[in-house]
Chain A
Amino acid sequence: MRMTACNKSPTMLFCIDSPPCYPNGGTTQGIPMLRKLAALHAPACVMLVKQPGNALDPIGTAFLCHNKGYLLTSAHAINLTDKLLIVLAPPIDQFNPSTVSGAVQAHSVTVAQYDATNDVALLKLADATVVVPPNIWGDEDKTPTGSSIGYLGFPYSHVGQHALKVSAGVISAKVVSSAGTKQFQFDAMVEAGNSGGPLIDVATGQIIGIVSARFSPVGTSGGVMIGNHPLGTESTISYASTIGYGKQLMKSEGLNV
């Protein structure tokens, strides 16, 4: 069940082949369906892994955000001292193995910008060009509470669930964390491995947040564990940092957003 990095094509050029997914001639305006949202954003979602030795350990999700080979993810998913790579997901509309083992195409990334306070990080692919769909950025201030949302990620990837999962919910509140970070609270249960995935407004098809956490009614310290799974931490109150913090990191990197 272990994944290892395949050394083929270390400087592989890959593209997000987006135009066939677009309604309205290449804009994301007016996408009403979760299925279209999945088709549009799934090709940009990747499994984030670390490489402590030969094996690859999944740690979360990231998504391509700029044609120069940049990705956004959650800061807390990353240890800055770890070697980081990404693994692409196969096309979402075909039947794929739920567990990937053996050698996989993995691409090294470096941490370009890191904002631990607001829980966002910008990663950079080495020697790769990607094509990211235009007009993917939403505005947290213009997304009302009650909006339908979708999110993508790799929950439980660390224990062998390697399928990119599309999920849905609604924005249940707009909150400010104890650190002062603006967050969307949404009505769905995110799992270990979802962190770093995009939160998407279904009405516009645009990314409005980066999935980061859920509320744990029993707290996060101590508690009963079965295997590595902490009991009682589940809830359908989940959080995403608003996308403005991601856009800020891209601007700090000198990228046009």
Chain B
Amino acid sequence: MCDLQFDSDEFKSVIEQLVPDHQKTKVLSALDLQNATEADFNEMGTALTGEQSVGGFIFYTSTGARSKLSLWAAIKAELYDLFCTASNKYAAERKDGVLTIKNTVTVIATAVAASFNLALGVVMGAVTLALMCLLKIGRNAWCSVNQPSAVGGS
């Protein structure tokens, strides 16, 4: 199993290199969150993926309903596959010493972007946040909370 650890400096470098300019400030701010919970990261992640409902008095004038598929959930499912299972899909990445924060973000972003026909940059910020959450909380705790049965099968 991989032994990737949270490293604030490496995350800063990844954000600088991979995350689009308009998302950098938000993703960087997550590094400074003290005692952040997964709910905090879920809120920030779904803000980046456009999955938060905005209430109040602003009535958006598109016609589409929210999709039942969640990009944020898809990102977390991909991380779960890599860090919490022994699936063949990520067997090579799990070898000791192979994974860094940068190539984990790239691998997961590539998989998710390909699934939904998106450009890589669209998902980089959210993937970085999701990985930050996993490493801050700790792999065992994160995997326990995000078991498919624990999150409604998503």
Question: Residues on A close to B: CB < 8 A?
Answer: 50, 57-60, 74-83, 110-118, 124, 155-158, 177-178, 190-196, 211-217, 219-221, 230, 233, 238-239, 245, 248-249, 252
Q: Please tell me the size bucket of the interface on B.
A: 20 to 34
- A114-B50, A221-B55 are known contacts. Are A213 and B67 too (CB-CB below 8 A)? no
Most chain B CB inside 10 Å of its own CB: which residue of A114, A158, A191 = A114
Choose the segment among B7-15, B69-77, B135-143 that binds chain A (4+ C-beta atoms closer than 8 Å). B69-77
- A111-B122, A178-B56 are known contacts. Are A212 and B20 too (CB-CB below 8 A)? no
Q: In the bound complex, do residue A79 and residue B69 qualify as a contact, i.e. CB atoms below 8 Å apart?
A: yes
The 9 closest A-B pairs by CB, nearest first: A79-B67, A77-B62, A116-B50, A59-B64, A81-B69, A158-B63, A216-B59, A195-B62, A60-B62
Q: Which residues of B contact A196 (CB under 8 A)?
A: 62
Q: Which residues of A contact B119 (CB under 8 A)?
A: 110-113, 124
Interface residues of B: mostly helix, strand, loop or mixed?
loop
Q: In the bound complex, do residue A248 and residue B69 qualify as a contact, i.e. CB atoms below 8 Å apart?
A: no
Nearest chain A CB to B128 CB, angstrom units? 15
Question: Residues on B close to A: CB < 8 A?
Answer: 20-23, 26, 47-50, 52, 54-64, 66-67, 69-71, 74, 116-119, 121-122
Q: Which residues of A contact B57 (CB under 8 A)?
A: 215-217, 219-220
Give Cα distance in the complex from A32 to B57, angstroms. Answer: 34
Q: In the bound complex, do residue A220 and residue B63 qualify as a contact, i.e. CB atoms below 8 Å apart?
A: no
Q: In the bound complex, do residue A111 and residue B21 qualify as a contact, i.e. CB atoms below 8 Å apart?
A: no
CB-contact partner of B64 in A50, A116, A215, A230, under 8 A: A50
Q: Which residue from chain A places its CB closest to the CB of B118 in the assembled complex?
A: A111
- A80-B71, A118-B22, A220-B55 are known contacts. Are A110 and B118 too (CB-CB below 8 A)? yes
Nearest chain A CB to B30 CB, angstrom units? 14
Q: In the bound complex, do residue A76 and residue B50 qualify as a contact, i.e. CB atoms below 8 Å apart?
A: yes
Q: In the bound complex, do residue B58 and residue A220 qualify as a contact, i.e. CB atoms below 8 Å apart?
A: yes
Q: Which residues of B contact A58 (CB under 8 A)?
A: 63
Q: Which residues of A contact B61 (CB under 8 A)?
A: 60, 155, 190-195, 211-214, 238
Give Cα distance in the complex from A57 to B63, angstroms. Answer: 9
Q: Which residue from chain B places its CB closest to the CB of A215 in the assembled complex?
A: B57
Q: In the bound complex, do residue B26 and residue A79 qualify as a contact, i.e. CB atoms below 8 Å apart?
A: no
